[in-house]
């Protein structure tokens, strides 16, 4: 049976009215599949990304189950990897439970626990927490777990990336074994499979977003950009176009994010129009920046991947990948910020010579080739500084060696001197590398590539 309306679920009037207030008319695919199964109290393994409506998919049946305020101890627990996601989930709880008297606590680190403890002492039905803070509150004797009957792990893959596995294990030990479990993850691989085998009981696996489908919805383009400085010029050019109304600029590292922010506020925009979020920003600053961006008071948000987790902003007009993410799934997360809930958006990626390698891997994940566009007229193309050029060539060599252990390297054969002749030789090498990068895959040295993306070992690091 096709489910085309929320009324078809066995949800109560309070929840249906809240759904209507949010303007949801039709359940999304993950909601269509998850809600009936979860209402039947089955364990669920959901493979779905942010942007698919997964939060309401697990919240509606959960809220239906815990129904109204009861007792003092929480009866359901939702774990999330980051405070931003925890806050986002908590906001959805507030919205969806608005016609009920359910009480919930959102608990995350970085703030003193005092208010969280006070909330607990008044009694809560549901806790949304990051694993570390949940354990802290438990150890402090402030959180009684004996009544927890439902556990949700949201973005389980990210939790593992961020090293939360030991905390999750500890949590599983201190909550009742008789309970319903729901695990959501954007990706499904060996680790998530093992985790689900460990703690889900005969789960129903629901997969809604083959990774390509978010990508299908978003208009994607690539600009080949020779160097950092030209990326900055291109960014400036794009951000001053009228249709770039609400933009997230993604950077790989906090330093890069900070530099982009400094450049934009120093030269191009009023500082009030731009904010930056990354791991080094204080908790309140991050929350304030995100709120300001959501409310439309800030037009441009510069962010690292980890800091941007859980950001839920409708109507992001453009996502700009200032650099290509090395954790390839992050590309899908990044571009999922635009084109959400059927709105169209554009994702633009700046790619240097040495980043082409990663683009190929990403294209394999999203199962499509992202079209390349010529640099817009009017963008100044700056000459690549010698050191930057060398670093890129060295990286290209390394990438080729990774694909083909017998590859000897083009770069290391000769030491280029920073002289006119040296630069000329180097330019020739760059040209050759560029040609190689744009040649059809089958014609490239190294033969067919190894299957599947290799996950980057620096994940969850200092981003």
Binding site for ligand AMP (CB under 6 A): 24, 26-28, 31, 50-56, 312, 314, 340-341
Q: Which is nearer to ligand AMP, 52 or 185 (CB)?
A: 52
3-state secondary structure 312-333: CCCCCCEEEECCCCCCHHHHHH
**CB nearer ligand AMP, residue 24 or residue 99:** 24
Closest CA to 61 of 90, 26, 32: 32
Smallest separation, CB 53 to ligand AMP (Å): 3
Size of the chain, expressed as the number of residues it contains = 463
Shortest Cβ 3–ligand AMP spacing (Å): 11
Least Å distance, CB 25 to ligand AMP, is 7
Judged by beta carbon, residue 53 or residue 81, the one nearer ligand AMP is 53
- Minimal distance, residue 44 CB to ligand AMP, in Å: 15
Closest approach of Cβ 28 to ligand AMP, in Å?
A: 5
**Reduced 3-state DSSP string for 268-287:** HCCHHHEEEECCCCCHHHHH
Phi and psi at 59, nearest 5°, equal -70, -40
**Least separation in angstroms between CB 214 and ligand AMP:** 10
Do 375 and 225 meet the contact criterion of CB atoms below 8 Å apart? yes
Closest contact distance (angstroms) between CB of 188 and ligand AMP is 17
Closest of 318, 309, 391, 386 to residue 355, by C-alpha: 391
The residue among 8 and 273 lying less far from ligand AMP, judged by its C-beta, is 8
Please, what sign has the CA dihedral across residues 55, 60, 65, 71? Answer: positive
| Residue number, 226 or 345, with CB nearest to ligand AMP | 345
**If you search the block for the tokens 């500890």, which residue do you land on?**
170
Nearer to ligand AMP, 28 or 354 (CB): 28
Give me the helices (H) in 189-282, please: 190-199, 212-217, 228-239, 254-263
Nearest approach, Cβ of residue 93 and ligand AMP (Å): 12
Q: What share of the chain is helix, strand, coil (3-state, %, to 5)?
A: 45, 15, 40
Nearer to ligand AMP, 51 or 131 (CB): 51
Positive or negative, the CA dihedral 287, 291, 297, 301 is positive
Nearest distance in Å: CB 99, ligand AMP:
17
Q: Which is nearer to ligand AMP, 55 or 100 (CB)?
A: 55
Closer residue to ligand AMP (CB): 31 or 354: 31
The per-residue DSSP string of 331-373 comes to: HHHHHTTSSGGG---EEEEEE-GGGHHHHHHHHHHHTSPPPEE
State the Cα–Cα distance between residues 463 and 454, nearest whole angstrom.
Answer: 19
């Amino acid at each position: 049976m096709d489910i085309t309306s929320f009324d078809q679920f066995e949800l109560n009037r309070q929840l249906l009215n809240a759904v209507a207030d949010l303007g949801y008319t039709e359940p999304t695919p993950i909601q269509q599949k998850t809600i009936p199964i979860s209402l039947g109290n089955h364990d669920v393994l959901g493979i779905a990304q942010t942007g698919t409506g997964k939060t309401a998919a697990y919240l509606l049946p959960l809220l239906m189950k815990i129904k109204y305020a009861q007792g003092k101890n929480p009866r359901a627990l939702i774990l999330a990897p980051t405070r931003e996601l925890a806050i986002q989930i908590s906001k959805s709880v507030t919205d969806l439970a608005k016609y009920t008297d359910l009480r919930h606590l959102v608990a995350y680190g970085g703030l003193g626990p005092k208010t969280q403890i006070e909330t607990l002492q008044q009694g809560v039905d549901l806790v949304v927490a990051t694993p570390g803070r949940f354990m802290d509150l438990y150890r402090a004797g402030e959180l009684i777990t004996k009544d927890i009957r439902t556990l949700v792990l949201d973005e389980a893959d990210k939790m593992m990336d961020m090293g939360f596995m030991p905390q999750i294990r500890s949590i599983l030990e201190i909550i009742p074994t008789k309970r319903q479990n729901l695990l959501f993850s954007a990706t499904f691989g060996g680790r998530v499979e093992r985790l689900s085998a460990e703690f889900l009981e005969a789960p129903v696996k629901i997969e809604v977003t083959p990774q390509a489908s978010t990508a299908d919805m978003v208009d994607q383009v690539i600009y080949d950009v020779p160097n950092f400085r030209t990326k900055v010029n291109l960014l400036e050019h794009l951000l001053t176009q009228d249709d770039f109304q609400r933009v997230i600029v993604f950077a790989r590292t906090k330093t890069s994010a900070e530099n982009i922010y400094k450049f934009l506020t120093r030269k191009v925009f009023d500082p009030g129009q731009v904010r930056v979020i990354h791991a080094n920003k204080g908790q309140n600053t991050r929350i304030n920046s995100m709120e300001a961006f959501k409310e439309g008071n800030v037009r441009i948000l510069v962010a690292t991947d980890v800091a941007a987790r859980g950001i839920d902003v409708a109507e992001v007009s453009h996502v700009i990948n200032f650099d290509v993410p090395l954790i390839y799934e992050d590309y899908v997360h990044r571009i999922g910020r635009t084109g959400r809930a059927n709105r169209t958006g554009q994702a633009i990626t700046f790619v240097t010579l040495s980043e082409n390698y990663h683009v190929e891997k990403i294209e394999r994940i999203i199962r499509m080739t992202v079209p390349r566009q010529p640099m817009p007229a009017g963008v100044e193309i700056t000459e690549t500084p010698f050191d930057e050029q060398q670093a890129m060539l060295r990286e290209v060599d390394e990438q080729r060696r990774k694909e083909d252990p017998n590859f000897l390297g083009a770069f290391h054969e000769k030491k280029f001197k920073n002289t006119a002749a040296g630069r000329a030789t180097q330019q020739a090498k760059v040209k050759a590398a560029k040609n190689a990068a744009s040649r059809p895959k089958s014609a490239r040295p190294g033969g067919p590539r190894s299957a599947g993306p290799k996950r980057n070992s620096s994940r969850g690091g200092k981003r």
